Amino acid sequence: MLKDKIIFLTGGTEGIGLECAKAYLRSGAKLSIISNNTDSIKEAESTLSGNEVLFILADVSIFEEVEQAIVTTIKRFGKINIIHNNAGISNPSKALHDTDDEEWNHLFNVNVKGIYNTTKAGLSELKKTKGNVLNTGSLVGEIGQEIHAAYSATKGAVNALTKSMALDYAPFGIRVNSIAPAGVWTPMLRKWSAEQPNSHVIDSYLANIHALGYCPEGDVVADACVFLVSEQARFITGCIMPVSGGAELGYRRYADI
């Protein structure tokens, strides 16, 4: 489905991003994977190896580093067909009044400004290939989440940004979509689980919020991502696609478990 496509994937060394990288490679793509974590890159290199993958150490919140990553990708592969903005953070687990300026700014700089940076740096390449952009959002951007005010706000921004970008870039043949998981077992979610006040019931909670009855691994999201960036989704743009096992039909509170 993705033969000869070059994908610029941020946050592709662990969690959902790593599962997407695996799925993209299986589908025939070549990858430029951006991460700001050297250890994470080393671990991913042991899983994803070969000439089809380029790893770049860069911080998506810093435009100059993203711009250089785009240049490096073009030098290696000659083009970019897809930008997948997957890099994101969820901490801290706090209500708005408990969130300090540094925490607020860090969340927005990574989760939202990261998309701003990759789009500014990579748009000219996407115009050449009539490519597409995929943003990793979250169901909380639509329905909110307790003690995650800043994180939910960033994902709500991603939803609105996705739709606005879809309108702005449609004249160039560029599609822009977003994927919106609910709970997905990733290293970030496991860390989040341990930090919650009711950590002893989190496993049951995460299973029960999904109508299908379980919290999935990242591969279910990766499969949907392959579809959205492929030609099979060629007439889909501005879509916020839930991959959530029906969680959007109604989250259950801890007390309901």
> How high is the pLDDT of residue 254?
46
* Nearest to 131, CA basis, from 177, 187, 69, 200: 177
Burial of 103 (0-12, 13-18, 19+ CB in 10 A): middle
- For 71, the enclosing helix (H) or strand (E) is helix 63-77
Which of the residues 24, 116, 151, 169 is marked catalytic?
A: 151
> How high is the pLDDT of residue 229?
98
Q: pLDDT above 90 covers what percent of the chain?
A: 74
Cα separation, 126 vs 149, in Å, equals: 33
**Residues 191-213: what's their mean pLDDT?**
79
Residue 213: which region, alpha, beta or left (left: phi > 0; alpha: psi -120 to 50)? left
* Nearest to 161, CA basis, from 141, 145, 183: 141
Known catalytic membership, residue 116: no
> How high is the pLDDT of residue 251?
54
Cα separation, 36 vs 52, in Å, equals: 20
Q: Give the list of residues 6+ apart from residue 230 with CB closer than 8 angstroms, or none.
A: 1, 2, 27
Mean pLDDT of the chain: 92
Cα separation, 98 vs 119, in Å, equals: 32
Superfamily of 6-183+217-251 according to CATH: NAD(P)-binding Rossmann-like Domain (3.40.50.720)
Each residue of 117-164: pLDDT tens digit?
Answer: 999 999 999 999 999 999 999 999 998 888 889 999 999 999 999 999
- The neighbour count for residue 236, using CB atoms within 10 Å, is 14
**Residues 235-253: what's their mean pLDDT?**
85
Each residue of 55-111: pLDDT tens digit?
Answer: 999 999 999 999 999 999 999 999 999 999 999 998 888 999 999 999 999 999 999
Each residue of 177-194: pLDDT tens digit?
Answer: 999 998 888 877 777 777
